[in-house]
Each structure stands twice: as C-alpha cells, then as structure tokens.
Amino acid sequence: MSMPIVAIPADIRELDGTTWHVVQTQYVNAAVVGGGLLPLIVPALEDGHDIDEVLDRVDGVLLSGSRSNVHPSLYGKVAEEKDGPFDPARDATTMPLIRRAIERGVPLLAICRGIQELNVALGGTLASEIQEMPGVADHRRRDVPDRDVQYEIHQTVHVKEGSCLAGALGAGQFKVNSLHRQAISDAAPNLAVEAVAEDGTIEAVSVIGAKSFAVGVQWHPEYWVGKDGPSNALFKAFGEAVRDHAAARKLND
C-alpha cells in the first residue's frame, strides 16, 4: 500500500522581501518518521480554496504550531497588539478545513496553534498571556538559543481515564514540552478536555462523537518523535487512523 497523504496547512512568512508558504521541518519529519505518512503542504489562501477538493486528495490533516495566533475576531474579541502576530491567510484556510475534515471523518491531529484553531473553529475562545493570570504557570518557551532546551520535556500533564488520548498514551500523568502564551479559555461545546497541566491549563482535547481520530494537544510531540515514548505513541496512533481512513476510501472507490 502506498503511503497515505496528510495535509499540513502552511504559514505565511515574509522572507527576503517576498511572501512564502512555509511549514517547519519538525512537523514534516514527524509525519514521515512517526506517522509513516507523506506530507502535502497546503498553501494558505485568504480565498480560493475548495476545501472538499483538498480533502478528496488526502487521508489526514495535521495542524502545526506557529509563531502566529488565531485572530481574536474569530472568537468574538477585539484584537490587541499583544495578541499578535496574526496570519489571516492561515486562519482562512484552517477554519473551514477543520470543520469539513471533522464532518467527513478525516483524521485530524492539531498541535499548539492547531489546538487553538480547533477550539475556535468549533466555537470556543482563547486566553492571551496566560502567564499573567493568577495561579497560572509560565508556559512560554525558554529564551535560549538551543532548541533542544527550548523544547525540553519538563511539564507534567494529567491524562483523563477513558479519554481518546489515554487510549494512545495511557491514563495518568507524564511530562511534555508545552510552549505557549495563549491557551483555551472556553472549550468548544463539542470538545472533550482530555488532559490538563498542574495549574489547570487545558493541554489536550478531542472532538466528541468524531467519526475518526480528532485530537488536539497544546504541547509539541513532533519535536521528539524517535526519542520520546509518548510523542512516538501519539504519532503512531494518528498514523494508524490515517491508514485506516485511506484503506476505507479505497474500498469505497
């Protein structure tokens, strides 16, 4: 069987005086090494996408992390400078892609910005600069040049018994590399909270009643694929769901 294809929506970046559609290598590598999948980078367009045409050609969707944040207007808030930077083209691509992938039962794994997009797409809200909130720890990336230190696995999360995530990783607690200054505030009505940090910050969710794998995590399992057990297990579970979806599509063709 050929490698199933997973769509990874691009970010917009201004580099060398021109506009680029980009995805960090760590997500591409994790899809290949951890999931056994062939990545397809989907351009970020503010208009012009036919989402069903995209989903007709892929077997799964992987939403990556990014420096940019979901625009607050998409969850009913006025944007402030501290909420940025923004990427309206990515928002315009991922919001309908998420909703339609869930409707069609296309497996979905949403990481960092991705879990926030998932929550907003389904009607939830986000909180900014959570480290300034009473009782909330500082989840931001460490200000050091060494990326292994930036992405160090150091934060404990508690996975709920019987959750979708527990099926892949086991229930109880383990450590992750969660790096963020925004987080889910009000979870969307059809999202189940699957894991929380010790300060109560939502660290993982799943789509209630989803036809296939549909999970979001606030941490970065892609960075340590090949070296960390939980990271490997999450991408393995996603890869298996994508292969199952690809096989079912072939039977129906």
The tens digit of pLDDT for each residue in 195-228 reads 999 989 999 999 999 999 999 999 999 999 999 9
**Residue of 49, 112, 180, 245 marked active site:** 112
Q: Lowest-confidence range among 29-38, 132-141, 225-234?
A: 132-141
* Averaged confidence pLDDT in the chain: 93
Interstrand relation of 172-176 and 155-159 (parallel, antiparallel or unpaired): antiparallel
Report the distance separating Cα 67 and Cα 78, nearest Å: 20
Confidence of residue 192 (pLDDT cuts 50, 70, 90): very high
Work out the pLDDT band at 1, boundaries 50, 70, 90: low
**pTM of the model as a whole:** 0.95
Judge whether 112 counts as a catalytic residue: yes
Catalytic, out of 117, 194, 222, 245: 222
Full set of structural domains in the chain with CATH: 5-252 (3.40.50.880)
Could you tell me the pLDDT band of residue 65, with boundaries at 50, 70 and 90?
very high
Sheet containing 214-217: which strands, arranged edge to edge?
Answer: 38-42, 5-9, 60-63, 108-111, 214-217, 202-207, 191-197, 155-159, 172-176
Is pLDDT above 90 for 68? yes
Is 129 assigned a catalytic role? no
Q: Which helix (H) or strand (E) holds 168?
A: helix 164-169
Name the strand (E) or helix (H) holding 248. helix 229-252
DSSP class of residue 68 equals: S
- Residue 73 in this model has a pLDDT that exceeds 90: yes
Helix (H, G, I), strand (E, B) or coil at 24: coil
Q: Which of 49, 71, 180, 220 is catalytic?
A: 220
| Average pLDDT estimate for 12-41 | 96
| Active-site residue, 103 included | no
